[in-house]
Amino acid sequence: MVSRGALVYIGQRTVLILFTAVAVSSIVFLAIHRIPGDALLNERHPDPTAEAELLHHYHLDLPLYRQYTLFVTNLVFHGDFGESLVNRGEQLTPLLLREATVSLEIGLIALIFTIGVGVLLGVFAAIRQNTWVDYTLTTTSVIGYSMPNFVIATFLVLVFSKLMYTWTNGSFYVPEGWDGTYGLLSQIPVPAFALGFPYASIVARLTRASMLEVIRQDYIRTAEAKGLKERVVIIRHALRNALIPVITILGPLTIGIITGGVVIENVFNIPGLGKEFVTSIITRDYNIVIGVFTVYAVLIGMANLGVDLVYTVLDPRIRY
Amino acid sequence: MRLRKLKGAALLGVTSVVLAACGGGSTSGGGTGLAANQTLSFPIDGDIGSFDPAEINAETDVVLYQNLFEGLLKLDNNLNIVPDIATDVPSDTNGGISSDGLTYTFHLVKNAKFSDGNPITCKDAVYSWNRSAADTSAYGSDFDHVVGYDKVSAKGSTVKEMSGLTCSDDYTLVAKLISPWPVFLTEVAFQPAAVVIEKSAVDKDPTNWWGTPGEEISSGPFVLSARTPGQSLDFSANSNWWGSTKPTLKKIHIDIVKDMSSALVKYQQGGYDTIGFGGMNSDLNPDDVYAVKNDATKSKDLHEIPKTRSIWVAFDFKGAGAAKWGGLTGAGHDLRLALSLAVDRNQLADLACSHSLICKPATGGLIAKGLKGYMGDNTDPTAKFDLATAKQLLKSADPTGAKLKGTVYVTDTNKAVYKNVAEQLISQWKTNLGIDVTEQVVDHSAFIKQYTSHSIPGPHREGWQADYDHPQDWFDNLFICGASSNGSQFCDPQVDTLAKKADTEPLAQAIPDYQAAETQLEKDAAFVPLVYTSGDILWHSYVQDIGANSFNDWYWLGIKIGSH
């Protein structure tokens, strides 16, 4: 049952997210128009008449303040990001929404992997402290958060797509690429792993440290003395409290996954926002650049809101 | 104990997912029969800009669209001009070209039709050409010699039809020119602007008729059947295709990828039938191509395609750097020539182009090897590696070294070969002449902005990929005074006189004049020629009748997928 206070809080945060999105769009709008070059330039210098007509079609011949006014009006009142400058006639709002769902798909799987695997490894390392299990998992975590995700991604492609194909003569390998909008089941794990592994390593380290602190508490000793099974003690008593610091970093972690997706999507050719982001900046497709930044701002705002709401589930003392 | 079991299960689960087997790796082999699934699959590294013939510009768009639309003339796979919707190529002998060279008569076949079944007649061709001319985009100006073009293309003009285009009957198109223009047939055969489209399709959705499956009405053997912007394109065989040869391919699936290296991995896994196709033969990573070439098995799939692109160094003849770099004679000339003679182009191609795999030394002028107007191997005196003369010229042009101090070479990131060539060039100038030139790499869009606004005050990358096989394409766009893509603002009236004379002559007569103009360019040391690029395509052996010429891919119409 959601309380009135929570609903008010959610409403306030949603309005803040929308304001943030408009502010981000405005800053990006002004910045992208300052960068030299534009999408309509070509080595084959077009006819001046044609060039003028193209500029007029995209309102690029208007003064910057008028372009901005048009842009804000269309965005706020119609939710319209306009038309692509490179792919003539392509409406951007449906394109960006589709790509956002793809990015959300891979980001969500990466997040589940991050939290699930990170917590699992952290718990194992803590309960097997100073054993080979602990040392192995700790070392793996250090490697994980030391390596940039594009290095991990490239390495995974090399090993699981290229070398494994050669070693097994095409029998066992991870297929490269991305089929359809949402990919095949076999194509999802490797990019999700590449995206989530560095953060899973951070979660593992944090969980280990937090668990080590919690399992030394008196109430844990009491629970063990009562004869409860180790699994029950860990999961029901220790983990819940050990997770609070982990939830604290969930916000930045989610943001890291969202922004890390830019690199991963480009390496694995995933048709999400990240791939569009890089392409649109290189081609100076102004409207797409602004659209991508805006969608990212909204996603990050919503992720932060989600994390704040998760707190209330974990810690009943927190109420809005 | 249970935790141990959980640990084991988790490990097994992860391993299973990661080792997901995905299909048998049956080896390709040229089967004698055809595969049941006649789908050709390949990647391209950027979404199409437009298939609208009036707006089309990028190389990828051109090589794809040529399978969707037909024109009165076209090029065959060997770059010969052949009739398409026309019954034959107009000439003096068949009466298709008048004796004064001003009137061209095209007779259309009577069975040509659009993919919706409607017949293609003269009025469709006239509509299409008028529309391209009125749009005045990339190739619309190819009709600039047709009577009435100036009225149609004028800014704000309400005139939509060139008066020089008429239909004497439903299947005869007559084009009248303002002056003899032997290049006209080449332009009609080569150019996307000259294909035939259906008016009703355009009227239904003027902005996006070409990109919406179902709305795009083609005149060619394939139609656009599905499109996810930024992600994929699908084409299927046109059931109303009127040509005598029917397509064997039923479907073409194209993925839009960001990274061709990853796409190459997918190709090697059997996920694509070919890579480098779709206008991508210059976009494969040179290191990847080199690795393939050195693999005894994989190299059998590799095919090198000479391209029509040249790369050279341009300077500044009229802007801020003109005092240093400009002048047809004198210190500026000597400085440019010194820089050119100090370049060992064999070494340049070897180091910058993966052991000359993706480019070759440019020693026969700026027009790429294999094209009409090419001067011949090792004929360009400015392309000789002559260090002694280079040092002498440098000493006389810049005795104190003050002029070359702080020189910046500007290039862009559009293709890997540009950066590689720049690095090797600067290295050679340092080693051979002892001069320090800084490389400035600018992103492509910013580079084009600087280039087209003539604001680069010194040496910079310049290049050209031919639109069609005629020297007029090079001279009128690049080398004559005020040419639209003459980034350095080079201007020599002698070159202009020769080029303009050649433009009006039949090709056989024109070539010597174009070559004389190019000899003048060499005397002026206007540019530093560097390399001619070549492309690479890989295809599995089961793909039959696939290939590319220096301009385009071979048509999809002839391609077959063999059993494998």
In chain A, residues with a C-beta closer than 8 Å to the C-beta of B26 are 170
Closest Cα of chain B to A165: distance in Å? 7
Over 50: is that where the pLDDT of B23 sits? no
d(CA A22, CA A16): 10
Residues of A in contact with B228 (CB under 8 A): 98, 181, 271
Least confident of B48-57, B76-85, B118-127, B451-460: B48-57
pLDDT on residue B19: 46
From the CA of A66, how many Å to the nearest CA of chain B?
23
Residue A127, chain B, CB below 8 Å: the answer is yes
- Measured between its terminal Cα atoms, the distance across chain A in Å is 13
**Whole-angstrom distance, CA of residue A120 vs CA of residue A196:** 14
Please answer yes or no on whether B7 and A45 come within 8 Å at the CB atom.
no
**How many other CB atoms are found less than 10 A from the CB of residue B412?**
23
Q: How far apart are CA B449 and CA B468, in angstroms?
A: 25
Gap from A319 CA to chain B (nearest CA, Å): 35
CA distance B467 to B139: 9
Greater confidence (B539 vs B279) lies with: B539
Residue in B465, B495, B470, B469 with CA at minimum distance from that of residue B480 = B495
C-alpha distance from B80 to closest chain A C-alpha (Å) = 25
Q: What is the largest CA-CA distance in chain B?
A: 99
Interface predicted TM-score (ipTM) over 0.85:
no
Main-chain phi, psi angles of B176, to 5 degrees: -105, 135
Write out residues 252-271 of A within 8 Å (CB-CB) of B: 265-269, 271
Supply the mean pLDDT for chain B: 89
Burial of B101 (0-12, 13-18, 19+ CB in 10 A): middle
Closest CB to B445 among A37, A54, A276: A37
Q: Give the helix/strand (H/E) hosting B461.
A: strand B460-465
Query: B5 burial class (0-12, 13-18, 19+ CB within 10 angstroms)?
Result: exposed
* Model confidence pLDDT, tens digit, residues B135-161: 766 677 789 999 999 998 887 788 889
Q: How far apart are CA A81 and CA A84, in angstroms?
A: 9
What average pLDDT score do residues B227-256 get? 93
Residues 139-198 of A with CB under 8 A from B: 157, 160-162, 164-165, 169-177, 181, 184-186, 189-190, 193
| Long-range pairs, A272-279, Cβ under 8 A, ≥24 | A272/A99, A272/A100, A272/A102, A272/A103, A272/A106, A273/A96, A273/A99, A273/A100, A273/A102, A273/A103, A274/A103, A275/A99, A275/B230, A275/B258, A276/A95, A276/A96, A276/A99, A276/B230, A278/B258, A279/B46, A279/B47, A279/B230, A279/B258
Q: What pLDDT sits at residue B184? A: 93
Q: Is B447 within 8 Å of A99 when comparing Cβ atoms?
A: no
Shortest distance between the Cα of A132 and any Cα of chain B, in A, equals 14
> How many residue pairs bridge chain A and chain B with CB atoms within 8 Å of each other?
182
Question: Is A136 touching B (CB cutoff 8 A)?
Answer: no
**A87 to B211: CB separation less than 8 angstroms, yes or no:** yes
Look at residue B248 in the predicted model and tell me its pLDDT.
96
pLDDT over 70 (residue B174): yes
Within 13 Å, how many C-alpha atoms sit on residue A297's CB side?
21
Nearest to B17 among A87, A189, A271 (CB): A189
Q: Residue A144: name the closest of A17, A287, A260 by CA.
A: A260
pLDDT of res. B292: 93
- Asked whether the beta carbons of residue B446 and residue A37 sit closer than 8 angstroms, the reply is yes
Q: Which residues of A touch B136 (CB under 8 A)?
A: 46-47, 49-50, 53
Lateral strand order in the sheet of B222-228 = B39-44, B251-256, B232-237, B222-228
- Secondary structure percentages of chain A, helix, strand, coil, to 5: 75, 0, 25
* Inter-CA distances, B284 with A192, B15, B278, B287, B290, Å: 26, 33, 12, 9, 10
Retrieve residue A110's tokens.
């990466």
Question: Per the CB < 8 Å rule, is A174 touching B20?
Answer: yes
Residue to test with chain A: of B6, B228, B445, most A Cβ within 10 A: B445
By CA distance, what is B233's nearest residue in A? Answer: A180
Q: For B412, which residue in chain A has the nearest alpha carbon? A: A282
Q: DSSP string of B152-172?
A: HHSTT----S-TTEEEEETTE
| pLDDT score for B32 | 58
- What pLDDT is recorded for position B384? 96
User: What backbone phi and psi angles, to 5 degrees, belong to A262?
Assistant: -60, -50
Tokens of A267: 């390496």
Give B451 or B460, the one with higher predicted confidence: B460
- What is the Cα–Cα distance from A54 to A56, expressed in whole angstroms? 5
The CA distances from residue B117 to B217, B234, B240, in Å, are 10, 21, 6
Q: What is the mean pLDDT of residues B96-114?
A: 96
Q: Is B100 exposed, middle or buried (0-12, 13-18, 19+ CB in 10 A)?
A: exposed
Q: Which residues of chain B lie closer than 8 angstroms to A284, CB-CB?
A: 445
Contacts of B448 in chain A (CB under 8 A): 37, 41-43
pLDDT for B425: 96
Give the nearest chain A residue to B48 (CA atoms).
Answer: A87
Interchain contact A130–B (C-beta under 8 A): no
A-chain CB neighbours of B10 within 8 Å are 120
pLDDT one digit per residue (tens) for chain A, 320 residues: 678 888 899 999 999 999 999 899 999 998 888 887 776 766 666 666 777 777 888 888 889 889 888 888 888 888 888 888 887 778 888 899 999 999 999 999 999 999 999 999 999 999 899 999 999 999 999 999 899 989 999 999 999 998 999 899 888 888 888 888 898 888 999 999 999 999 999 999 999 999 898 888 888 888 888 888 888 888 887 887 788 788 888 888 888 998 899 999 988 989 999 988 888 888 888 889 999 999 999 988 988 888 888 877 766 777 76
Instruction: Burial-class residue B184 by CB neighbours within 10 Å (0-12, 13-18, 19+).
Output: buried
Using pLDDT thresholds of 50, 70 and 90, give the confidence band for residue B27.
very low
The whole-number pLDDT of residue B22 equals: 44
Nearest by CB: B22 against A35, A173, A193 = A173
Mean local confidence (pLDDT), B536-552? 93
Which pLDDT does position B8 carry in this prediction? Answer: 53
Report pLDDT for B29: 41
Contacts of B265 in chain A (CB under 8 A): 157, 161-162, 176
Q: How far apart are CA B331 and CA B403, in angstroms?
A: 10
**Helix, strand, coil percentages for chain B (3-state, nearest 5):** 35, 20, 45
> Which chain A positions have a beta carbon within 8 Å of B255's beta carbon?
177, 269
Say which DSSP state A35 is in: S
Collect all residues of chain B within an 8 Å Cβ-Cβ radius of residue A125: none
Residue B34 has pLDDT above 90, yes or no: yes
Nearest-by-CA chain A residue for B142 = A47
Mind telling me how many Å the CA of A228 is from chain B's nearest CA?
14
Secondary structure of B354-418 in HEC code, one letter for each residue: CCCCCEEECCCCCCCCCCCCCCCCCCCHHHCCCHHHHHHHHHHHCCCCCCCCCCEEEEECCCHHH
Q: What is the dihedral of CA B206, B211, B217, B221, to 10 degrees?
A: 150
Q: Name the β-bridge partners of B562.
A: B34
Q: How confident is the model at residue B242 (pLDDT cuts 50, 70, 90)?
A: very high
What is the predicted pLDDT for the residue at A281?
Answer: 85
Q: Is the pLDDT of residue B68 over 80?
A: yes
Question: Which of B184-193, B451-460, B489-498 is predicted least confidently?
Answer: B184-193
Which residue in the set B55, B258, B448 is minimally distant from A275, CB to CB? B258
pLDDT attached to residue B71: 94
Chain A residues whose beta carbon lies within 8 Å of the beta carbon of residue B485 = 43-45
Q: Rounded to the nearest 5°, which phi and psi values hold at A186? A: -80, -15
Burial class (CB in 10 A: 0-12, 13-18, 19+), B489: middle
Would the CB atoms of B208 and A89 count as touching at under 8 Å?
yes
pLDDT tens digits, one per residue of B313-345? 999 999 999 999 999 999 999 999 999 999 999
Does the pTM of the predicted model rise above 0.90?
A: no
Interface membership of A132 toward B (CB under 8 Å)? no
For testing the chain A interface, which of B18, B204, B256, B410 should be mutated: the one with the most A CBs within 10 Å? B18
Quick check: A49 and B136 CB within 8 A?
yes
Q: Are strands B302-314 and B460-465 parallel, antiparallel or unpaired?
A: antiparallel
Count of all residues that appear for chain B in the document: 564
pLDDT of residue B52: 87
Query: What pLDDT is recorded for position B521?
Result: 96
Alpha helices in B165-254 (DSSP H): 184-190, 199-204
Dig out the tokens for A243 from the structure: 């997770």
B533: three-class secondary structure by DSSP: strand
CA distance B182 to chain A (A): 22
Place of tokens 């070439």: B293
- Record the tokens describing residue B2, joined without a space: 């249970």
Nearest beta carbon to residue A45 from set B230, B270, B484: B484
Verify whether the Cβ–Cβ distance A87 to B256 is below 8 Å. no
Distance of residue B266 Cα from the nearest chain A Cα, in angstroms: 5
The minimal CB distance from B137 to the residues A41, A46, A173 is found for A46
A-chain CB neighbours of B138 within 8 Å are: 42, 44, 46, 50
State the pLDDT at residue B56.
78
Q: Of A49, A193, A230, which has the smallest distance from its Cβ to B153's Cβ?
A: A49
Residue B274 has pLDDT above 90, yes or no: yes
Of A36, A98, A176, the CB nearest to B449: A36
